[in-house]
Structures are given as structure tokens and as C-alpha cells.
Structure 1
Amino acid sequence: MRLRTLIGLWVLGFALVAPGAATADTSPPTFPILPNQWFAGVVNGQTANATIRMVCPGPAGGTGHPASGQTLSVNRVSPPTDTTNFGFTGSEGTSIAAAPAISSTTTVPVIFTEYFRPSALPTTWTLPCEGDGRIDFTPRPTSSTARTAHVPVHFVNIATTPA
């Protein structure tokens, strides 16, 4: 009788634990930013010629704020043969700060500590409503071997551009 009770409890215990053990982890793997790594800055899924949609209430020209729903991220890359637009974390870099190269006011950068983890493009940034610009992805802390990645962007005023 005791043996049947122990077997029954063992089966019940296994049945309660097994479903949790079979569940797969669906979160993406993390890839920390470390020294001496090549990387590419990414704006709305593009490493070059990205478009940033702008909300500009006034007349053509001037400045406004990025529309919501846009992203920035950093991708780790193999050592490139052509280093144009690619960055390098250098001997000290453990994070990367993304910020516009031009701005009418001081902007708070977006800080990345992991690759392939998108972050919202801040709608608080003040940027040109139209024209061309650049988002810089700068390793932190910096060192003599660090190199900033530059992503050329085109600002488009959603109020004056057909959908």
C-alpha cells in the first residue's frame, strides 16, 4: 500500500513539473556590447539611407519631432573590409550612444548595452522637418581605438508627404 501511494505521489509530482520543463524560452538571446567589436547603427531597420518620419505642425522647413513607432538599434558585424559607416567599440567600449549629428537643441542619447535590441526613436528629439542628416552611434566609454558609426538619414514631414 505504501509503495502504491509513493508511486502515485511521484507520478502526480512529475505531472505538475513536466509542463513547465517542456516550455521553451521564447525570449531572444542577449549579446552584450563588449570592447573590440565592430558594429553597425540601425535606424528603422536600415544601416544607410534610412527615413525618419517627422511631425511638423508649421510651414515647410523648420524643426519638429519624430513620429512614434520608429526604432534605433545596434547590430554586431564581422570585421568589414570597407569600414565606411561602421563603428568599433575600441579597447574600452561597453555601450553605444545613439544621437542625431545635428539638432537645434541638446538631445538625450539612446544608450545600448546589447546588440539586436531595438529601442524607440525618441519623439522628444528636435530634428529638421525635411532634408538629410545623420544619426551617430558612439561607443562609450571612448578610447583612442573607438570609432563612431554614422547612419545617413532623410527627414520626411508626414504633414506634407502623400502616404
Structure 2
Amino acid sequence: IIVYFHRFKNWYNRYRFSRKKLVVTDKVKILRTLINNYISTDSNQGLDAADILTKEHSHIWHTHPDAKRYQKLLELNLDSLRLSGDLIRSGNKYQVTGKAQETIAQYEITKLKYKQNLATQHKMTWLTYAIVFLTVLTTLGTLVQANIIKIATLWDFTK
């Protein structure tokens, strides 16, 4: 029974993985993978597309129905990063350069600015709602004082 359970578990994991779309177009993630490989190994041998896919999605990526398509797409992204100067190619392996760290820093700064702008926009939206509400309330108060709108007296201080 335990063997059948493990077989089912492995089959289910492969099934779920084969239904999932692999992310291979995130250039910053690719650069981080290569930088982590550079930091964790003594020699800068570099990685090829298959190694990067294995690091990101484990060895099971080979069983994915679109494995070749994802590998070619990743190779295209690696060539794009090579042309921008973030990577160098030696043989079929890609090695990270110092410009990759600068690219990641620029990405982080841009991401932070975007989050700050988004927070400012949310604050401005709520401030606009508050201004609209107070304007409507002030207009109603003015119309009541001008006796254009009649409402029941809540407090009568004349008695």
C-alpha cells in the first residue's frame, strides 16, 4: 500500500507540474539564478538553459509537455541578456558579469518607485472621496440654512 501511495503521489506531482506554465521570461529571476550560482560555486563555470531550468523547476521540467519550447524561450532570453551586457557566453554556458548586479539594482529601484507611486495614488483617491463627501455635506448644510430644503428640527434652542 505504501508503494502505491508513493507512486500515486509522484504521478500526481508530475501531473500538476505538467499542467503548470513555467516562468522563463523573467529576466531578473534568470540573473538572480546565475548570480546565486556564481556566489555559491568556487569557479564561474556558468550555466546553460537546461541547468537554469533544473535550478528553477527541479529535474522534473524534462517531463513537461512544452519542455523544449520553454528551453528555447529561455535560450532566447539568455541571448537577450548577453546582448545587453549582463551575461557573457562561453561555449554553451552563460556567465554573469558585473552589469547584471547593476541591472537588478535598477529593477529594484524601479519596483520601489512603482510601489510608492501606487501608494500615493491610493491616498489621493481616498482624499478625493473625502473631499466629495465633505462638499456634498456642505452643500446640503447651505441649502438647509437657505430654507430651500426643509428638514425636521433636531434641537430647538428657542424655547
TM-score (norm 2): 0.27
The answer to which structure has the higher strand fraction is 1
| Structure with more relative contact order (C-alpha pairs < 8 Å, separation 6 or more) | 1
Which is greater in Rg?
2
